[in-house]
Structure 1
Amino acid sequence: MLRALLTLWMMFACVVIARAETVVFTDVNVVPMDRERVVSRTTVIVTDGVIASIGIKAKLPAETPVIDGKGAWLFPGLADMHNHVTSRDDLTLLLANGVTTMLNMGEATNSFAGRTRIAVNGGEVPGPFIYTAFVVDSDPQYGHFVVRTPDEARAIVRLAKANGYSFMKVYTNLSAGAFAGLAEEAGAQGIGVVGHNVKAVGLARQLAAGQSMVAHVEEFFYGFFPEPPADDQQAAPDAARIAEAIALVKAHGAFVTSDLFNYRTIAAQFGKPEVVKAYLAAPEARYLSPADRLAWAGSSYQKKAVDLSRRVAFEARFVKAMADAGVPLITGGDAPTIPGQVPGFALHGEIDAMLGAGVTPWQVLSAATRTPGEFIAKTVPGAAKFGVIAPGYGADLLLVADNPLMKPATLRAPLGVMAGGRWHDAATLKAMLADVAAKRAAP
């Protein structure tokens, strides 16, 4: 009882600070992510959820909340641009891991896409700012909403926009006609097109038609690189074609979601039930919902042996080449639908995987902050600016112990998270995680 009261008190204290009109960070080293630099030992003023100034010590009322950074590092909040989070507890996991912006990439429940999204984005419920994508296919095989004709596709774009969706996600078996109708209507309605390779169309024609984001790097295996030989279906593509793939993406100004951690996690469990058991025994698995635990345990990946090791290695090489060529990469995965990916923790897995592929810390952290902000600015009319610490940008901020450009792992243990101008200190974040673990504890 005492613990519950303490948790409630901490959360109440957080809300009081969070709803203040002005909050001041003092003595912080700012990593603004507008370019590779640090602004040392300075002051940042947040007003009404927006960064008002950096380095200006304004005279403020005595009761203004002050967060003394004591030389810690202030960094933009992280963005998870591909997940399937649909619960408030999973939103808590994201927030406690420093994620302040998310994109649900399909199959959000009506209540999440409507009530929860509105409540979180309006500041009534703690969590990252939510964008949603409505997923369509022309085959019911994967359980997605089915449209088969151009007229049906145009109609669903209008309905999705009316219901607050920012994106249309195209799936693998969408018909060519439906894709054409969807892309045309999405352009007219100002709603972005994202998603998979559509087998009947192919990535080259999809990007030419206005698709702004490829949802997984692995989609290039199916929609750009030539089919592997019949006697070796899991062969890696020819590395000589990487430059051609990069040129295609850059020609259309498209964004690509790096999913190295996701693909590696899937590859590791094919035909190996013991790997899934290890995923379920990992410390972060205590935060999984019972339904996700059951789904992981029954995953079909472990029932068929497939060796994807060469493709895993190729994808890492491909991502590094894209980063070095200036392709706008954004971070994401598939949590919690893929065994091994827990919301929030999976994003840090992706950061580690990109670093392991030789992508520089600046490039990786740009993919988790600045570039998602550019993606949303380009594809969602009127969206608030985020991903950079600068006046006029949303106050989505992490306070961490070390310089993330030198030690990215510091992002795993934030000293505090500000989401939409609402401050949550480390004790509050810890209490939030404990609450989720307690509610989801296995009987």
Structure 2
Amino acid sequence: MLRALLALWMMFACTGFARAETVVFTDVNVVPMDCERAIPRTTVIVTDGKIASIGIKAKLPAGTPVIDGKGAWLVPGLADMHNHVTQRDDLALLLANGVTTMLNMGEATNAFAGRTRIAVNKGDVPGPQIFTALAVDGNPQYGHLVIDTPADARAIVGIARANGYSFIKVYTNLSAGAFAALADEAKRQGVGVVGHNVAAVGLAKQLAAGQAMVAHVEEFFTGFFPAPPAADQQAPPADARIADAIALVKTHGTFVTSDLFTYRVIAAQFGKPDVVKAYLAAPEARYLASADRIDWARSSYQKKAVDLSRRVQFEARFVKAMADADVPLVAGGDAPTIPGLVPGFALHREIDAMLSAGLTPWQALSAATRTPGEFIARTVPGAAKFGVIAPGYRADLLLVARNPLVEPATLRSPLGVMANGRWFDAAALKAMLDEVAAKRVVP
């Protein structure tokens, strides 16, 4: 895999340029995302993969690469804080869509979690900065690593840390004892706990024990809100209970992953094989790996009819209320394991879903830039700062034609992407997509 990634990097370097000690952006409007503002027509200097200055014109050595923004808009690169990407071509899809940070939320291969992650994060090969979570559960039903006892739980934290995982992802069937031991040991060793509602514990106790992030908004259905009536199992909670959920997460400073589009896509395909066929025929599906196409076609969602429409509508109101209450939301695409979700493209769909739920462009863009940076800063000791354009932050940047705080759709069409100080112009981004599409021929 590493050899192939290096070959891919050489191809990209032909249309962009490799990392230079210093790169200068001139005549750019900067949306720094430290607060809701823009800095007009200024200069940004990047040195050694980090932002060195904004608005300062310095005398630079001859031959310093200069990117003339021509009045375009420079924003932080996007962060996909919930995906299941493990293939090199999917890294290209993320980068071509402006994603410069990702969190794999479970089932990464050993090679990806180790060798590939290290190579990408060092800047030896192209891709978004990679963080990984090791998924654990109490039984093998969902294919996750099984831990039965508190002793197992304590041991797995050290194993995860030794293998470069920044997080442990807890799943539904853990025992209460295993969760308690895991949360305690993770806190001691500086490994973040993220994930689902653990049925034997419940979100209130999980967050009190230090779980840093809830991986899906719908975990509140089973982990916090009262159970629906037996006669209507898909009834949404009462809107009056939203305030209680917000109070819980704010008490503990917990981050919540907005996955409105994911849940909407799942709801649309329950019991409807034709919907899955439509997903497979969509233009974005030409970038899908053949194994993922097969998995989509075999998905269990289409085999049972369930009406989640009222819960989809409730989630939109819930996420809007959380955003307005300053709950720290992070955006996640959850691709490619769920039919309808293609890496990179899915994150833009999530931003669209947040906007359609009533979030402002600032709120939605924060969930894909600034807030993920705050999440990593709080949970991963020693991690480089990102998510804001400011001196000392990682040079992960997205150049777009228009102001995304006014026209967020501009994020879908990058004029260029800088990842870890390496610049990929529009031609390089197109080459990435074309290369993936050429290899993933639709049958």
Match of 1:393 in 2: 393
Give the whole-Å Cα distance in 1 for the aligned partners of 2:13 and 2:114. 25
Q: Give the drift of 1:259.
A: 0.3
Match of 1:169 in 2: 169
CA contact (8 A) 1:171 1:198 kept: yes
Instruction: Output aligned runs, 1:224-263, within 5 Å.
Output: 224-263=224-263
Match of 1:133 in 2: 133
Match of 2:12 in 1: 11
Q: Secondary structure at the match of 2:382?
A: coil
Give the whole-Å Cα distance in 1 for the aligned partners of 2:114 and 2:218. 31
Match of 1:307 in 2: 307
CA contact (8 A) 2:105 2:132 kept: yes
| Cα distance per residue 1:325-372 (max 9 Å; x no partner) | 000000003100000000000000000000000011100000000000
Q: Give the drift of 1:287.
A: 0.2
Q: Give the drift of 1:13.
A: 3.3
Give the whole-Å Cα distance in 2 for the aligned partners of 1:225 and 1:360. 26
Structure 1, unmatched stretches of 5+, are 1-6
Q: Secondary structure at the match of 1:18?
A: coil
Distance 1:375 1:9, change over 3 A: closer
Instruction: Output aligned runs, 1:176-255, within 5 Å.
Output: 176-255=176-255
CA contact (8 A) 1:32 1:390 kept: yes
Match of 1:4 in 2: none
What one-letter code is carried by the residue in structure 2 that aligns with 1:164?
A: G
What one-letter code is carried by the residue in structure 1 that aligns with 2:13?
A: F
Q: Give the drift of 1:409.
A: 0.5
Q: Give the drift of 1:321.
A: 0.2
Give the whole-Å Cα distance in 2 for the aligned partners of 1:271 and 1:137. 27
Match of 1:147 in 2: 147
Q: Secondary structure at the match of 1:187?
A: helix
Structure 2, unmatched stretches of 5+, are 1-7
Distance 1:8 1:169, change over 3 A: closer
| Cα distance per residue 1:112-153 (max 9 Å; x no partner) | 001110111011111000000001001111111000111100
Match of 2:5 in 1: none
Q: Secondary structure at the match of 1:52?
A: strand
What one-letter code is carried by the residue in structure 2 that aligns with 1:258?
A: S
Give the whole-Å Cα distance in 1 for the aligned partners of 2:126 and 2:281. 28
Q: Give the drift of 1:442.
A: 2.5
TM-score, structure 1 normalization: 0.97
Give the whole-Å Cα distance in 1 for the aligned partners of 2:322 and 2:249. 9
Give the whole-Å Cα distance in 2 for the aligned partners of 1:51 and 1:323. 29
Match of 1:32 in 2: 32
Give the whole-Å Cα distance in 2 for the aligned partners of 1:81 and 1:280. 24
Give the whole-Å Cα distance in 2 for the aligned partners of 1:14 and 1:430. 10
Match of 2:341 in 1: 341
CA contact (8 A) 1:14 1:423 kept: no
What one-letter code is carried by the residue in structure 1 that aligns with 2:286?
A: R
What one-letter code is carried by the residue in structure 1 that aligns with 2:421?
A: G
Match of 2:54 in 1: 54
CA contact (8 A) 2:272 2:305 kept: yes
In the alignment, structure 1 residue 108 sits paired with structure 2 residue 108: yes
Q: Give the drift of 1:18.
A: 2.8
Q: Give the drift of 1:10.
A: 6.0
Give the whole-Å Cα distance in 2 for the aligned partners of 1:309 and 1:188. 42
What one-letter code is carried by the residue in structure 2 that aligns with 1:316?
A: A
What one-letter code is carried by the residue in structure 2 that aligns with 1:337?
A: T
Match of 2:384 in 1: 384
Give the whole-Å Cα distance in 2 for the aligned partners of 1:45 and 1:97. 23
What one-letter code is carried by the residue in structure 2 that aligns with 1:119?
A: A
Q: Secondary structure at the match of 1:231?
A: coil
Give the whole-Å Cα distance in 2 for the aligned partners of 1:328 and 1:442. 39
Q: Secondary structure at the match of 1:168?
A: strand
- Aligned residue pairs, count: 436
| Cα distance per residue 1:408-439 (max 9 Å; x no partner) | 00000000000000000000100110000000
What one-letter code is carried by the residue in structure 1 that aligns with 2:128?
A: P
Give the whole-Å Cα distance in 2 for the aligned partners of 1:333 and 1:441. 23
| Cα distance per residue 1:310-336 (max 9 Å; x no partner) | 000000000000000000000003100
TM-score, structure 2 normalization: 0.97
Instruction: Output aligned runs, 1:70-81, within 5 Å.
Output: 70-81=70-81
CA contact (8 A) 1:78 1:369 kept: yes
Q: Give the drift of 1:8.
A: 8.7
Give the whole-Å Cα distance in 2 for the aligned partners of 1:109 and 1:293. 19
4+ long deviations beyond 2 Å: 7-15
Give the whole-Å Cα distance in 1 for the aligned partners of 2:377 and 2:68. 32
Match of 1:281 in 2: 281
Q: Secondary structure at the match of 1:430?
A: helix
Give the whole-Å Cα distance in 2 for the aligned partners of 1:227 and 1:333. 27
Match of 1:3 in 2: none
CA contact (8 A) 2:9 2:125 kept: no
Q: Secondary structure at the match of 1:442?
A: coil
CA contact (8 A) 2:22 2:46 kept: yes
Give the whole-Å Cα distance in 2 for the aligned partners of 1:9 and 1:77. 22
